[in-house]
Homo-oligomer: A and B are copies of this chain.
């Protein structure tokens, strides 16, 4: 990925005719830092969510249902990639974990015709000061 600190990590799907097993996160993964909180965020077709910006938490996200396009913007002072955008689409057909460090803003869109599900295994607990929502116009992007 172009933005410093953003990772896309392939995750294994173990095929099974009764239903697949899909890896998410292990405490001995090279990019595992800390477990703060896990939550799902469903996103309906056509919807864009974001920008979201964390001050402390790294977001570790997988999309086990559907496909979601994530766009990132780096507003960090002193970052070698300050001012850059990046984007990736992950989901059932490209099953990977997207890891976004604190300070990097992200927005995400479900461009498909069915609901998608995002799981975020955040490194820190949510708190009012830790997470903020910015209007989409904050960092203009042509989707």
A residues lining the B interface (CB < 8 Å)? 18-28, 35-44, 47, 49, 64-65, 110, 115-117, 119, 121, 125
List residues of chain B with CB within 8 A of the CB of A44: 18-19
Asked whether, in the complex, the Cβ of A47 is within 8 Å of the Cβ of B65, the reply is no
CA distance A41 to B24 in the complex (A): 11
What is the count of identical protomers in the complex? 2
Least distance between A50 CB and chain B CB atoms (Å): 11
Asked whether, in the complex, the Cβ of B18 is within 8 Å of the Cβ of A39, the reply is no
Closest to A32 in B: B35
CA distance A130 to B25 in the complex (A): 18
List residues of chain B with CB within 8 A of the CB of A38: 24-26, 38, 119, 121
Contact check: which of B19, B28, B47 meets A125 at CB < 8 Å? B28
Asked whether, in the complex, the Cβ of B24 is within 8 Å of the Cβ of A40, the reply is yes
